Structure 1
Amino acid sequence: MEFLHWTIKKLCQAVMDKTYSPNHLLADKYKVEKVLGDGNYGIVYLCKELKSNRKCVVKQMRKSKKKENEQLYIQETNVLRFLNHPSIPKLIETFTYEKTKFFSMQFIEGDNLDDLLFSKEKRFTEIEALLSFKGLLEIISYIHEKGIAHGDIRIPNVMIGDDKLYLIDFGLTQYLQSGMEKNTVQDDYYDLGDFLLFLLYSTFDTKSKKNQPWTEELNLHTGTTNILKKLLQIDKPYDNITDIIKDTHQIIEDLSN
């Protein structure tokens, strides 16, 4: 019965959520080059904007999830319109095509860290991991100052291009409201800890794996271990992101000497 329900749901989704093929023209403005992602709430395309002849990213919201997507669409586009940072894609415009909501945004040239780690097998030394982590901390610090938590800090949502770090996908952002602020910020901190662990594990020899905790498997600077323990709430968590940046900078200096 469960399988039948899942099958019907997927068939309905396939009918309602049309995926556009390469060379299709969206709203007489955007020529589809390829599908970049196909998620639960939207389909993401690499397109060429005909007027400027530049590449851009276009996100199509799913009709099959109209109820949830109404709020997500408003929230994500408003956040992108509000934020102004060189490491965050800029919103170009919102539009409707074939009774479906879309929005276009700046294309970031580069690779996401999920592809770099698992497809291209990129390896990060401890200092390289910390440098990338520090770059991400500075972006998160900016959005927190603007009263926003990202809510989805994962390696697929972090990109590297021209040796610069970028943060994408603001579909699960939350506004930092009084009373909820501390927990929401701590969720971002926890995700930052997970992010750093992914980078640090890139040089781990899987042949020697013995199902030990990361504190035993990874040979890290004491300060790096302390940062991770606070972010992952093993030890008393950080109260603010300024202290995380300061501690990270100190360890980078120590490892550089």
Structure 2
Amino acid sequence: AVKIIDCTKVSNDYRERFLPRELYALKKLNHRFIAKVFETFLVSNRMFMVMELATGGDLLDILKETEGPLENSKSRIVFRQIAEALKYMHSEGICHRDLKCENVLIFDNKKVAKITDFGFARTVYLHTTGRRLLTETQCGTISYVSPELLGGRPFDAMASDCWSLGVILYVMSTTKLPFSSRHQRRRQLTKRYKLPERLHNDCKDIIKKLLEPTVSDRLKMDQVLQHKWISQYSYTEYPFLT
């Protein structure tokens, strides 16, 4: 697959800030659950990115195919794969800032999920001191963004990624978004969303702890991977997603 960006049709801000960050992230990151980009090159003001082909489409396509939420065993596999990729990204000092179902690609006969699209990715540490930076840029897809991003103040982009991961799990488990766009931030801050009774209790628990409006109480990625819902199964249990 080839992603083509016409540099004459994008904003100066994108060309000078976001595109270099995306290229940096693609160069730095190498993980089995991150979609590979084999080559990037510029021809006549067009940036070409040659990447592996997602034969299974994206996670939203899978949910449309199944015409309903994923079973517990299947959503757990997808979730663990993208959680591993996100933990790796954060350990490398890079946040994604646009995690959503459409940015999770499906490979290998619908058994493997990989994160893609690093157009909003950025480093979160100050190179000179190693101090973690807060970000002020409001980016991402509105239904998946955290309440602190909507608050319009500097925020921790890694914690915001964790919120988006919780939204992805909610969508996989229900095929719905947890919060409507009307009064979205108020609903987020008051935890006004519903979890179906049929959901596994451990799955409910991890969703609640990721969709936690208090940033200091929200799960971090190492805590996510230690959670009993996903720490108790082996990778030999891959079922087909559809």
TM-score, normalised relative to structure 2:
0.68
In structure 2, the residue matched to 1:174 is: 122
Report if aligned partners of 2:162, 2:219 keep a CA contact under 8 Å in 1. no
- Please tell me the residue identity of whatever aligns with 2:201: T
In structure 2, the residue matched to 1:7 is: none
Once the two structures are superposed, what CA deviation does each residue of 1:88-114 show, in whole Å capped at 9, x if it has no partner? 233333333333333333333322011
Give every structure 1 segment of 4 or more consecutive aligned residues whose post-TM-superposition deviation is greater than 4 Å. 250-253
Deviation at residue 79 of structure 1 after TM alignment: 0.9
Please say which of residues 77-86 and 56-65 is displaced more in the overlay.
56-65
Report if aligned partners of 1:224, 1:251 keep a CA contact under 8 Å in 2. no
- Please tell me the residue identity of whatever aligns with 2:217: P
- Structure 1 pair 250/83, CA: closer, same or farther in 2 (3 Å)? closer
Greater RCO structure (CA 8 Å; 6+ sep): 2
Alignment gaps of 5+ in structure 2: 126-131, 136-154, 177-191, 238-242
Deviation at residue 169 of structure 1 after TM alignment: 0.6
Alignment gaps of 5+ in structure 1: 1-55, 204-211
In structure 1, the residue matched to 2:184 is: none
Q: How many residues align?
A: 190
- Residue 238, structure 1, aligned to residue 218, structure 2: yes
Percent of pairs with identical residues: 23
- Structure 1 pair 252/219, CA: closer, same or farther in 2 (3 Å)? farther
1:64 to 9, 16, 25: 9
Higher strand share: 1
- Please tell me the residue identity of whatever aligns with 2:95: A
Report if aligned partners of 2:22, 2:120 keep a CA contact under 8 Å in 1. yes
Measure the CA separation in 1 of the matches of 2:91 and 2:167: 22
| RMSD over aligned Cα atoms | 2.8
Report if aligned partners of 1:81, 1:90 keep a CA contact under 8 Å in 2. no
Measure the CA separation in 2 of the matches of 1:196 and 1:239: 14
- Residue 249, structure 1, aligned to residue 194, structure 2: no
Deviation at residue 166 of structure 1 after TM alignment: 1.0
Rg comparison, structure with higher value: 1
In structure 2, the residue matched to 1:21 is: none
Report if aligned partners of 1:80, 1:91 keep a CA contact under 8 Å in 2. yes
Query: What is the correspondence of 1:63-212 to structure 2 with a 5 Å cutoff?
Result: 63-70=8-15, 71-118=17-64, 121=67, 123-162=69-108, 163-177=111-125, 178-180=132-134, 183-202=156-175
